[in-house]
Amino acid sequence: MGTKRVGLARTQALVENLKRELTMNGTRLVGEKHKITSVTANTTLGAGDSGTLYVFTDAAATITLPDSGAGDIIGVTYRFLSNFQGTGQKVVCSDTTNEDMIGVLLAGDNDDDTVVRGWNALVADAFASINITSVAMGHPGSQWTVTNIAADVWLVEGVMIQSGGSEVTPFATT
């Protein structure tokens, strides 16, 4: 064994300069940045896209979630942000007959900052999509997350910014 020692500062510098990508069963650890994808056209997601923030940068686009019916994508999570006033922004389950969205979207009223709503989604509602087609459903800044928690079940959490005097749920069955 040698007696050569490396100082703490040098060891820290060497470790900090390592730029490596570690892949474990589809999970990617790459620095501290989140993967962000701009959406301007219809897009179909896969399990490998889990962890990505999808930013709607156009008025209309449909993002289709992967089919969760086999139960093999439990834990897959996607985040969404409207960064453009939607007239046809949509996140939809690939199987609108069997897959359900459950959870709640909280909504602040842009016309009256003291009004807060909660749009609930229960299994019995059979909701399979989240839509922003007007200011009554969502403004830019509206954001939500969907996570597959069981075969055919997606958990939804998020915050919508709404206005227009006739605010409505962004959840839909198709």
Higher pLDDT: 21 or 136? It is 136
Residue 75: inside a domain, yes or no?
Answer: yes
Domain range spanning residue 41?
34-172
- Under 8 Å between Cβ of 127 and 100: yes
State the total domains in the chain: 1
> Does residue 72 form part of some domain?
yes
103 occurs within a structural domain: yes
- Longest CA–CA span in the chain (Å) reads 77
Q: Let me know if residue 27 belongs to a domain.
A: no
Assigned domain for 4 exists: no
**Looking at the domain assignment, is residue 18 inside a domain?**
no
In a domain, 90, yes or no: yes
What is the Cα–Cα distance from 21 to 168, expressed in whole angstroms?
Answer: 44
pLDDT in tens, 12-59: 777 777 766 666 676 665 566 789 999 999 999 999 999 999 999 999
> Of 107, 119, 108, 121, whose CA–CA distance to 155 is shortest?
121
Mind listing the pLDDT tens digit for each residue in 73-106? 999 999 999 999 999 999 999 999 999 999 999 9
- Taking alpha carbons only, the member of 134, 133, 129 closest to residue 144 is 129
Of 99, 103, 169, which Cα lies nearest the Cα of 134?
Answer: 169
* Position 77 in a domain: yes
